[in-house]
Amino acid sequence: MESFDVIICGSGPAGLAAGLAAASNGASTVILDPNYVIGRKLCATGNGRCNFSNTLPPLKFMAEFGRHGRFMTDALRAAPREFFLDLLQKEGIRPTVENEIHYFPMNGRASDVRDAFLRAAKRAGAETRLSVSARRILVEDGKCVGVETDGGEVFKASHVILACGGTAAPSLGGTASGLELAKELGHGVREPVATLAPIHVDDPWISELAGLTVPDAELGVMVGTRHVSMRGSLLFTHTGFSGPAALNLSGTVNRVLLEGEPSHIFLRVLPDKKEQNLYDYLVDEREKVPDHLLKNSLARIMPRSLASLVCERLFGEDFHSKRLTNAGAHELAHLLDRMPFTVSKPATMDEAMAMDGGVLLKEVDPRTMESRLVKGVHFAGEILDLTGATGGFNIQFALSSGRLAGLAAAGTL
């Protein structure tokens, strides 16, 4: 029977950062993963380029995770972005910032980010075991004593870090296995739904716009009496929407559907213009250029294909501005301000980049990432009920929480 100080379940960014922290601080450490490669999902991130962080300062960074974002205050303090930038540079990976916000490795290879962490962790003494899955966390007297693997082997350790990720992207190793382990320990889990996924709608005409990108749109959904919306670039697809605004709203939409509510989403194609501004614009155009086609007037302020389709659906083809009544202008302005779509079905985990849901945060100590229920068990990364927007949030959180868990497990906090 092998014995370690720290066993880490999962070789994603959380597990690798945890392994590096624990081994560098003198703990004998092993990283287990059921996959046949280390950090398989990490290597596919950012279209294979790995958007591993962003330039937001900690408070703004945490705010992007919603009202529980402050949970990671200690993790970001113990393991800030600068720590990882420095580490990557020492391992020969030059980071670069795109669009003034997103960090990528300059050579555009996600696998090099994985290799850098793995190299550093191994140099520090961490061992790895592939094609090995943790089947059970062994507990005696409320304390962790080891892990039983799917092959029936037992590894002894007083600290186990569950960095098993979530259920998104099963083809890249996404699984509920870590959540099941947490449940067996008595932890509550908020039911996972797909997030950072496309939104599918029941309005077939939308397929005519497939491929269109609106650089700045707002997509919203009603959650009870609250209107939740996301703003950003939006891509029309054959079945609905993708792009940051849709990806970032998808978790909320899927949860509304899970709770049995019929779901409508609302699109504002011109989020800086209020309904009244739009009405004024239409009436103004009617007076200034009455013989112009209404769709051409609209195309001056929004994408032409969308302008044409909206005008055609509302007023028929070749509709001139002079024919627009005040009531028609109101109707069109209202539609542009709040265009409704019916969500046809929730996105699947195969389509998702992350899981919304996971191990309840109130059962985890944010200062050590240790379970409040079982001593010696720690959590890190996406397995926790904390998911950020697209754009380097989730990997940075996985790295920071992983490092904090590793430091705590090695007893160096």
Ligand X SMILES: Cc1cc2nc3c(=O)[nH]c(=O)nc-3n(C[C@H](O)[C@H](O)[C@H](O)COP(=O)(O)OP(=O)(O)OC[C@H]3O[C@@H](n4cnc5c(N)ncnc54)[C@H](O)[C@@H]3O)c2cc1C
Residues in contact with ligand X by the rule CB under 6 A: 9-15, 32-35, 40-42, 44-46, 50-51, 133-134, 163-165, 168-169, 172-173, 175, 177-178, 353-354, 381-382, 392-395, 398
Question: 374 near 144, Cβ under 8 Å?
Answer: yes
CB of 10 to ligand X, least distance (A): 3
Task: Give the Cα separation of 381 and 332 in Å (integer).
Answer: 45
One-letter amino acid for residue 219 of the chain: L
- In order, the DSSP letters of 163-179 are ----SS-GGGT--SHHH
Non-local (6+) Cβ contacts of 180 within 8 A are none
How many other C-beta atoms are found inside a 10 Å radius of the C-beta of residue 131? Answer: 13
Characterize the bridge pairing of strands 264-268 and 339-345.
Answer: antiparallel
Cβ proximity to ligand X: between 220 and 391 the closer is 391
Cβ proximity to ligand X: between 11 and 371 the closer is 11
Task: Give the Cα separation of 276 and 334 in Å (integer).
Answer: 9
Task: Give the Cα separation of 51 and 110 in Å (integer).
Answer: 8
Cβ proximity to ligand X: between 10 and 271 the closer is 10
Say how far residue 181 (Cα) sits from the centre of its chain.
22
CB of 162 to ligand X, least distance (A): 8
Question: 253 near 265, Cβ under 8 Å?
Answer: yes
CB of 231 to ligand X, least distance (A): 19
Characterize the bridge pairing of strands 370-371 and 364-365.
Answer: antiparallel
Of 408, 385, 401, 412, nearest to 195 by C-alpha is 385
Question: Sign of torsion, CA 78 80 84 87?
Answer: negative
Cβ proximity to ligand X: between 297 and 400 the closer is 400
Cβ proximity to ligand X: between 239 and 396 the closer is 396
CB of 110 to ligand X, least distance (A): 8
Partner residues linked to 384 by β-bridges: 359
Cβ proximity to ligand X: between 34 and 198 the closer is 34
Cβ proximity to ligand X: between 19 and 220 the closer is 19
Task: Give the Cα separation of 52 and 307 in Å (integer).
Answer: 37
CB of 319 to ligand X, least distance (A): 43
Cβ proximity to ligand X: between 13 and 357 the closer is 13
Q: Does an H or E element contain 295, and which?
A: helix 294-299
CB of 324 to ligand X, least distance (A): 45
- In order, the DSSP letters of 83-115 are HHHHHHHHTT--EEEETTTEEEETT--HHHHHH
Task: Give the Cα separation of 183 and 322 in Å (integer).
Answer: 65
- In order, the DSSP letters of 360-411 are -GGGEETTTTEESSSBTEEE-GGGBS----TTTHHHHHHHHHHHHHHHHHTT
CB of 83 to ligand X, least distance (A): 16
Cβ proximity to ligand X: between 137 and 329 the closer is 137
Cβ proximity to ligand X: between 132 and 267 the closer is 132
CB of 274 to ligand X, least distance (A): 34
CB of 235 to ligand X, least distance (A): 16
CB of 256 to ligand X, least distance (A): 22
In degrees rounded to 5, what are phi and psi of residue 93?
Answer: -105, 120
Cβ proximity to ligand X: between 11 and 158 the closer is 11
CB of 37 to ligand X, least distance (A): 9
In degrees rounded to 5, what are phi and psi of residue 276?
Answer: -65, -40
Question: 302 near 269, Cβ under 8 Å?
Answer: yes
